[in-house]
């Protein structure tokens, strides 16, 4: 069993763009609606937590537990993938399904509590951790389930790589095929994240946490793309 590549089909080519939109939109919606909690940008939670501690302010529970939750879900996801690999099942579709279900549950809790959303309550902390968990799963998708995919949640790395590759394409002396290929894969993820942030912010301003329907809907589209990718992948492997 081989891992699908980002270049295998139209579905896999568009998947990083869709997943980046999910990350960008859920991150900004969670930040605006859950008292500054980052669901995708876990580093941001550490920075805000440190700032609050230095200022002598009380740190929200969600900030304290977001990093441990993220790490635990990463470990559990890797264990899940290992089990799938042992029985010969590609991990892409199961992980996309898990991510969608986590976001759907996140949305369901917010809809059930609307309009009385209190970020510090236990149920909303749980909702926020579901968002964090969904983004942990998405990070695993980009790392181990889709060969050649850029990061779809951490844009600092993507921007750095894109700047390096553009410099190599414009001024490098060595063959630039690798730089062009990587830049071709990276820029859609950056654009998708920015677009997700912009649309997510506008939706949250208008609809509050009900706007989580946006990333949940895009995650469903990504799941369909994953199904399409797996259908195309075995045919290409036989042809090889």
Tens place of pLDDT for every residue, the chain, 240 residues?
567 676 666 667 888 999 999 999 999 999 998 888 888 877 777 888 788 778 877 777 888 888 899 999 999 999 999 999 898 888 889 999 999 999 999 999 999 988 888 878 899 999 999 999 999 999 988 888 888 888 888 888 888 888 888 888 887 776 677 778 888 888 889 999 999 999 999 999 999 999 999 999 999 999 998 887 777 665 444 433
Residue 32 CA: distances (Å) to CA of 203, 206, 208, 230: 11, 12, 8, 36
What's the predicted TM-score (pTM) here? Answer: 0.86
Compute the distance between CA of residue 122 and CA of residue 53 in angstroms, rounded to an integer.
Answer: 22
Q: Are 96 and 149 in contact (CB under 8 A)?
A: no
Q: Token pair 């600092």 is at which residue?
A: 156
Compute the distance between CA of residue 192 and CA of residue 212 in angstroms, rounded to an integer.
Answer: 16
Q: Token pair 């946490």 is at which residue?
A: 209
What's phi and psi for 8, nearest 5 deg? -65, -45
Q: Are 96 and 226 in contact (CB under 8 A)?
A: yes
Alpha-helical runs (H) found in 7-145: 10-33, 42-54, 61-86, 92-113, 122-140
Q: Looking at residue 161, what is its pLDDT?
A: 85
Domain spans in the chain, listed from the N-terminal domain onward: 10-239
Closest CA to 84 of 3, 192, 29, 180: 3
Q: Looking at residue 234, what is its pLDDT?
A: 53
Compute the distance between CA of residue 94 and CA of residue 82 in angstroms, rounded to an integer.
Answer: 12
């Amino acid at each position: 069993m081989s891992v699908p590549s980002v270049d295998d089909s139209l579905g896999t080519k568009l998947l990083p763009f869709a997943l980046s939109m999910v990350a960008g939109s859920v991150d900004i919606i969670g930040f605006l609606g859950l008292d500054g909690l980052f669901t995708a940008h876990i580093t941001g939670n550490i920075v805000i937590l440190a700032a609050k501690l230095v200022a002598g302010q009380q740190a929200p529970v969600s900030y304290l537990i977001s990093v441990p939750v993220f790490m635990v879900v990463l470990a559990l996801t890797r264990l899940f993938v290992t089990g799938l690999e042992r029985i010969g099942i590609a991990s892409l579709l199961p992980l996309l399904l898990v991510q969608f279900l986590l976001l759907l549950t996140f949305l369901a809790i917010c809809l059930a509590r609307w309009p009385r959303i209190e970020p510090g309550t236990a149920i909303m902390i749980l909702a926020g951790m579901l968002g964090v968990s969904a983004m942990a799963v998405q990070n695993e998708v980009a790392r181990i389930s889709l060969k050649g995919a850029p990061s779809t949640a951490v844009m600092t790395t993507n921007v750095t790589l894109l700047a390096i590759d553009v410099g190599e394409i414009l001024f490098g002396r060595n063959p630039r095929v690798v730089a062009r290929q990587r830049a071709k894969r990276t820029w859609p993820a950056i654009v998708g994240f920015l677009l997700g942030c912009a649309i997510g912010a506008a939706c949250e301003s208008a609809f509050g946490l009900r706007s989580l329907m946006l990333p949940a809907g895009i995650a469903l589209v990504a799941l369909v793309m994953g199904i399409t990718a797996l259908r195309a992948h075995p045919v290409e492997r036989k042809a090889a």
